[in-house]
Amino acid sequence: MEAVTAAAQARERLRASFASGRTRPAAWRAAQLRGLLRMAAEMEDEICAALRADLAKPRTESYVHEISLVTSSCKFALKNLEKWMKPKKVPAGLLTFPSTARVTAEPLGVVLVISAWNYPFLLAIDPVIGAIAAGNAVVLKPSEIAPATSSLLADLLPRYVDSSCIKVVEGGIAETTALLEQKWDKIFYTGNSKVGRIVMSFAAKHLTPVVLELGGKCPVVVDSDIDLHVTAKRIAAGKWGCNNGQACISPDYIITTKSFAPKLLDSLRKVLDKFYGKDLLRSADLSRIVNSNHFNRLKALMDEEMVSDKIVFGGQSDEQQLKIAPTLLLDVPLDSAIMKEEIFGPLLPIITVDKIHESFALINSMTKPLAAYLFSKDSKLKRQFERNVSAGGMIFNDTSIHLTNQHLPFGGVGESGMGAYHGTFSFEAFTHKKAVLERNFLGEAKARYPPYTPGKLKILKGVLKGNPLAMVQAAVGCTGRARV
């Protein structure tokens, strides 16, 4: 009950701030974005330390994958803010002549952002940037699974942004549930599909719109017509170089041909050896598993009877350090747990097929992924992949890096999510596009008003068909028996 009361009070305080009009001016929005920019620059060491405490994340990953992307989002929003806010003129149409028409970007109100633990700084601040740019008041609920970053955000945000309009609420399941029980103008959730369904069920009670950034099993299809060494490096960077596989767009499994698999496997082994050394568990460049629950979940995937003998590289683990080595598995059964659920960790199965085109049916037999990757020089194969594979995003000849492009939407499809953000799409995610039509008191058309007559109907039919004579007759108020 205490959590519910606190959640209701937080929402009401922010609703009062929003109702005052405080968040609407461009100057306020820009000031908050500049505050976030200063925070990312001035608190780099503290942010990296929190990410290290939560995930043993290497400083390079902390900066490149989290801090720099927040900085990029802020700068992009500041550069485009006035353009986004400006009403957009659209054609008025003949039926409403004379008139003008425009689309106005209107803030939704008070929004709730629930962020994830795997990129706990980026995934908290990035959607908040969009909400602020759109002129909303915001409650941010960081993930309790990354407690150091959650605590840091609760401390830092009031020092850099307007705390009367932007508030951090910490806590676990009870606090999150209490927040979800309130009525919001939008809910933005990043996490897994299980919790996504819970969020959506709460939102349905109030008909609250949602953005759900979820995940899924992201496939990597590897053709034989490639630069093998570059391919192996880019797969490794997208898998183990992204939080040791704990990323929603991390490669989840590879599909290649039976004849090419040994070459790809050998190249991946060499790359992993070069990246992380012989003793993989001692590498300072690999994040740890976030907690014992996820460690045990990943161990269970590896230890399943039908899977354990498929490990061809890695497989080592250290429960005390919560470390699991980069692990390659070859031809695991498709009905094994590791192929039925999102792995979200350092395990990477390789599935072989006779012909590369067979990969399409395999991918489409599963739920739609957040991202799909293809390595090939074959232009025809690329176009077929693009047409036939449905995914939130797609990259040819690399992995994961599409999220760095502020001009591309980032979001899922089907069970990998709904809605998108980044760049302009972040602004639109937290905006209502209001239709505005403006007329003066001229241009009365008597044919639109009762009492209806056959003559009026003929004129209206002519107008609707674009007949110039009918338009003239409507404009001058003719309602007689003229043929139109």
Distance CA 24, CA 5 (A): 27
Q: Is 248 a catalytic residue?
A: yes
Backbone φ and ψ of 422, nearest 5°: 95, 135
Which H or E run includes 70?
A: helix 68-85
Cα 136 to the center of its chain, rounded Å: 19
Residue 360 DSSP SS3 = helix
Distance CA 134, CA 136 (A): 6
Distance CA 200, CA 480 (A): 57
User: What residue type is 379 in one-letter code?
Assistant: S
Of the candidates 251, 269, 266, which has an alpha carbon nearest to the alpha carbon of residue 394?
Answer: 251
State both tokens at 390: 């449905």
Catalytic residue among 61, 66, 213, 342: 213
Residue 66 DSSP SS3 = helix
Backbone φ and ψ of 438, nearest 5°: -125, 130
State both tokens at 213: 């950034």
Distance CA 150, CA 143 (A): 6
User: What residue type is 355 in one-letter code?
Assistant: K
Which H or E run includes 177?
A: helix 173-180
Catalytic residue among 48, 218, 248, 478: 248
Of the candidates 193, 224, 200, 174, which has an alpha carbon nearest to the alpha carbon of residue 356?
Answer: 224
State both tokens at 274: 């070069």
Q: Is 213 a catalytic residue?
A: yes
Cα 55 to the center of its chain, rounded Å: 21
Q: Which of the residues are catalytic?
A: 213, 248
